[in-house]
């Protein structure tokens, strides 16, 4: 009788551990920006900074314009410049530079390459999670819950640990995509990653491949960064994923043998 009770307890313990192990990874929900609400306005610039703790803000111009717009984000000595759409539609941007004061400025094109200041808003940021900015979609890694890459990640990675999900996504990228040499020769400066178009064609340039992979990872609650800089002397994009507190490097373009595997990667900016 005692032996039977012991076996029952042991079996229940094993089952409970299995349930806990599965549950450990099934609660990592995808995060998406909330709709803009009560934005700050200065000049022609609108900024919803109600989610600084989560690591992102929404920005737009106050009304439609036929002029080109640029937004500059400055924290300390670091300056990041973005193209901002002229449709007065909000776009999401990360507080990827960590805690502190961010100056968000809008510039309106006057003529040629000349721009004039059109608004400025200062935001003080204190993140609840230093990896928060790398868990949400943003202008460079733009996806939704119905993006095909996200649906594929949901299918592949259900109940997997972050490490196993990362390995599955790496394998998927390597086996399912090719490098788009034609696009690489014709891409224009300032062109953003095309997650949907590249996924449909199963081909893209370095920033497309990296953005697809990051969208898949973030949708599984795994923080990941789109890195832009240089591989050797070549301008390039790649990924860095945070797994168990450690940064894990992966270059989907190099995995496809579409770029020489360089020993040195130099970061210029990341999203």
pLDDT score, position 16: 35
pLDDT score, position 22: 37
Task: List every span in the chain annotated with CATH 3.10.620.30.
Answer: 148-270
pLDDT score, position 189: 87
Across the range 163-180, mean pLDDT stands at 98
pLDDT at residue 147 tops 90: yes
CB atoms within 10 A of CB 203: 19
Q: How confident is the model at residue 28 (pLDDT cuts 50, 70, 90)?
A: low
Assess if CATH 3.20.20.10 describes domain 40-134.
no
Report pLDDT digits (tens) over 73-107. Answer: 999 999 999 999 999 999 999 999 999 999 999 99
pLDDT score, position 14: 34
- C-beta of residue 55 within 8 angstroms of C-beta of residue 129: yes
SS (H, E, C) 70-94: EEEEEECCEEEEEEECCCCCCEEEE
Burial of 28 (C-beta count, 10 Å sphere; 0-12/13-18/19+): middle
pLDDT at residue 7 tops 70: no
pLDDT at residue 229 tops 50: yes
Q: How confident is the model at residue 261 (pLDDT cuts 50, 70, 90)?
A: confident
Q: Quick one: the chain helix, strand, coil %, rounded to 5?
A: 30, 30, 35
Average pLDDT score over the chain: 91
148-270 has which fold? C8orf32 fold (3.10.620)
CB atoms within 10 A of CB 113: 7
Task: List every span in the chain annotated with CATH 2.60.40.10.
Answer: 40-134
pLDDT score, position 50: 97
Across the range 62-67, mean pLDDT stands at 95
pLDDT score, position 263: 81
Q: How confident is the model at residue 17 (pLDDT cuts 50, 70, 90)?
A: very low
pLDDT at residue 8 tops 70: no
Statement: the pTM of the whole predicted model exceeds 0.75: yes
């Amino acid at each position: 009788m005692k032996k039977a009770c012991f076996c029952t307890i042991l079996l229940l313990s094993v089952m409970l551990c299995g349930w806990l192990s599965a549950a450990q990874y099934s609660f990592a929900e995808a995060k998406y920006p909330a709709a803009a609400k009560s934005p700050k306005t200065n000049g022609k610039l609108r900024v919803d900074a109600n989610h600084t703790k989560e690591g992102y803000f929404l920005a737009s111009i106050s009304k439609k314009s036929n002029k080109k717009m640029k937004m500059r984000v400055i924290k300390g000595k670091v300056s990041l410049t973005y193209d901002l759409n002229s449709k007065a539609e909000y776009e999401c941007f990360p507080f990827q530079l960590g805690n502190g004061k961010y100056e968000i400025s809008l510039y309106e094109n006057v003529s040629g390459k000349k721009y004039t200041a059109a608004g400025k808003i200062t935001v003080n940021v204190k993140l609840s999670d230093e990896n928060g900015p790398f868990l949400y979609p943003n202008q460079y890694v733009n996806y939704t819950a119905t993006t095909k890459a996200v649906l594929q990640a949901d299918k592949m990675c259900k109940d997997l640990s972050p490490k196993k999900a990362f390995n599955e996504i790496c394998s998927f990228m390597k086996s399912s995509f090719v490098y788009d040499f034609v696009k690489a020769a014709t891409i224009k400066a300032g062109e953003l990653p095309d997650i949907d178009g590249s996924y449909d064609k199963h081909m893209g340039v370095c920033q497309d491949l990296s953005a697809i992979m990051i969208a898949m990872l973030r949708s599984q609650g795994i923080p990941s960064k789109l890195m832009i800089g240089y591989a050797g002397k070549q301008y390039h994009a790649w990924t860095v994923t945070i797994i168990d507190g450690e940064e894990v490097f992966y270059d989907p373009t190099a995995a496809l043998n579409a770029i020489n595997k360089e020993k040195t990667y130099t970061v210029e900016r990341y999203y």
